[in-house]
Homo-oligomer: A and B are copies of this chain.
Amino acid sequence: MKILISNDDGIDSTGIAALAKELKKIGDVTVIAPRTEQSAVGHAITMKFPLRITEYSKNGDFFGYAIDGTPADCIKIGIRNIMKTPPDIVVSGINCGSNTAINIIYSGTVSAAREAAIMDVPAIAVSVTNHDPKHYEYAAKFSADLTKLVVQHKLKTGTLLNVNVPDLPEEEIAGVLLTKQGKSKWDDIYEERKDPYGKEYYWLTGNLIQADNKLETDQFAVKQNYVSVTPIHFDLTDYETYDTMKEWHLENMSKQKS
């Protein structure tokens, strides 16, 4: 099994090392990841600047390829120009901090997996629920187990699995749940500060407003110490609104031509 690993925390992060170590037990691993941290870049891609590919070593051994771009860039150039043929699966992570509810929208980790899904490659994004995780081991083992399941069940093209793992030792994990994206959102706050020259600048902080209270949502499941697995896709059409908007009669907005 050919496995491509990427992330958004950068190729030198602890999470990607833990993931690569575990996945090497079940397949032929290629690591292609951003040279520097790319958290919260969403699904950005680099078009106005060129990319560079650098070989990256760890403790004297070749570890993977560093790209001076975004997570989505890594998947695109990784599959097209480094691997040349698509891998059997892409696994992105292990991210520091959960990517549940609204955070899925901002996440670079998820966008690497989503870019793979766009390229018709099955993909998993994996995050641990702590910004300084203590327990990558279980998340890495779980990623390997889920990788085997995804390949076995032939996950539908265009879908990726977004996985969030509580930052706990294995014996404290409550179980594994299939979930939906939660509705919790950030109450953003921009802290106003002054620079040494007296000019204002603004720094984003905020609090996640917990709007989920059912185990079938990613956000609540991880709060209750479950591993959450959410299938997500990139068809953003709101079909419910599509149906109700038929009554808006948009066709009347311009003179129809015969």
Contact = CB atoms under 8 A, between A and B. Distances in A.
B202 A77 contact: yes
Contact of A50 (B146, B203, B229, B232): B203
A198 to B, nearest CB: 13
Given A42-B45, A43-B43, A178-B246, A236 B237 contact: no
Nearest to A51: B202
Interface string A23-61: 000000000000001011111111110111100000000
B40 A45 contact: yes
Nearest to A49: B203
A45 B193 contact: no
Interface in A148-175: 149, 153, 155-156, 159, 170, 173-175
Size range of the interface on A?
A: 35 or more
A173 to B, nearest CB: 6
A242 interface: yes
Which of A142, A177, A227, A237 has the most C-beta atoms of chain B within 10 angstroms of its own C-beta?
A237
A204 B43 contact: no
Contact of A76 (B46, B159, B173, B188): B188
Interface string A187-225: 011101100000111111000000000000000000000
A192 B204 CA distance: 38
Nearest to A146: B253
Interface of A: 37, 39-48, 50-53, 72-73, 76-77, 80-81, 102, 104-106, 111, 114, 118, 142, 145-146, 149, 153, 155-156, 159, 170, 173-178, 180-181, 185, 188-190, 192-193, 199-204, 227, 229-242, 244-246, 248, 250-251, 253-254, 256-257
23 contacts: A42-B42, A43-B105, A43-B106, A50-B193, A52-B199, A52-B201, A53-B200, A53-B202, A72-B106, A76-B204, A80-B188, A81-B202, A105-B114, A105-B118, A159-B238, A175-B251, A175-B256, A175-B257, A227-B254, A230-B237, A231-B237, A233-B236, A233-B238
Which 3 residue pairs across A and B have the least CB separation, nearest first? A42-B43, A42-B42, A231-B241
